[in-house]
Chain A
Amino acid sequence: MDDVRTLEGPGAAVSPLLRMVTMVPDASLGVARDLQRAASGMFRFGARVSVSVVNAATRPAFVRQPLERVEARVDALAVQGAAAREVEVVRVGAIAKRAEPMIAEFLEAVVALLPIDALLARIDVNGLLERVDVNALIERIDVATMVNEVLAGIEIGDLIHDSTTGIASDVRDSVRIGAVSADTRIARIVDRIVRRGRERDLVLPGYAFLGAP
């Protein structure tokens, strides 16, 4: 709520026109989303109509009978293909099952042949580390070039987009909250004038929402 007060306070000379302008991107986004939904709706409607037309077109007997013959033929071929596929799957599975113990035995024999413990015992890890000149390594790294490459990888445009979107959302929400407050105030004034004894019934039954008072 502090944001709202800041915008509405006497010290802040933010023009309502400017606030409206900052809301334009969000409103445009809303329009685009609505248009997208409308397009999806039209596409679904078109698909439904197409299905209905196809159903109606294939309903007559002179169209249906040849279609049924073709369908029966395709169905028989599909069953035949599925059976062949199952046979192949079983055959490949049996081969793999038979080969598995042989492969495991071969790998174990290879590992047994290698003198891994003797090799590890001969390696002097401390001696190796002492031979590495860390300072020389760091000197060879071009830090400036690395930083430049990292900075070049950062999308400044995305950063600006994200921040401006956040500002627009803040303004939009502030306007919405302000509008709700203004609605409430106007309703109270009118209720006082017409001497309405009870509060307005504003909750819409059936409109499920969280946090309803």
Chain B
Amino acid sequence: MSAADRRARAISVRGHRAGFLTRLVSGGIDLVVTALILFGVLVAFAIGRYLVGSAPLTLPRVHGLFTAAAYPVVEVLYLATAWATTGRTVGDQLFGLRVVRRSGTRLGKIQSLLRAVFCAMFGFVSMLWILVSSKNNAVHDIVFRTAVVYDWSDAVRTSGRPATPESDVSAVEATSA
């Protein structure tokens, strides 16, 4: 597929609410990323302990309860940070998705945090509603008045003011090049 075809496709779907499969797979990737972050924290802790003390360089033995408690915390922090800054997680980036308010702007910090908590608790069950929703909304989209749209560009929209056509084209070209 040529760059022009890709650009045309990117523009044609941009701003459309994403469907079930894309969001499901993207969410699955984010679960893996969360596990990697947690693993990275443990590795960093092991290195710090090795440098400061005399302990050998080994991963700390963690109780299952610790993992069960730390995993959702890391997931919430990861999701909230991603949504409040760029509007997309690693999974979203891979599939060209962006989480926005219904006005099309970036989520606020509190809104991101609450949405992340809800998603960490009921995310995949909540997503089943996308299948029957006429607007591809998950339950958490309805509760927090958000939407997940296809957006292959890297431009982050922070205000309600629409982007200029030039910036939209250049953003898509930069992504598709």
Contact = CB atoms under 8 A, between A and B. Distances in A.
B19 A34 contact: no
Interface string B78-99: 0001100110101001111000
B90 A31 contact: yes
B12 A211 contact: yes
Interface residues of B, number: 53
B134 A196 contact: yes
Contacts of A173: 1, 6, 9-10, 152, 176
A201 B135 contact: yes
B4 interface: no
Interface of A is mostly: helix
B14 A209 contact: yes
16 contacts: A2-B1, A4-B1, A34-B88, A34-B93, A169-B176, A174-B1, A180-B9, A180-B150, A182-B21, A183-B20, A183-B21, A200-B134, A206-B102, A206-B160, A208-B104, A209-B14
Interface of B: 1, 5-6, 8-22, 25, 81-82, 85-86, 88, 90, 93-96, 100, 102-104, 131-132, 134-136, 147, 149-152, 154, 156, 160, 162-163, 165, 168-169, 176-177
Interface of A: 1-4, 23, 26-27, 30-31, 33-34, 37-38, 41, 169-170, 172-177, 179-180, 182-184, 186-187, 190, 194, 196, 198, 200-213
The 6 closest A-B pairs by CB, nearest first: A183-B19, A208-B162, A207-B104, A30-B93, A207-B15, A211-B11
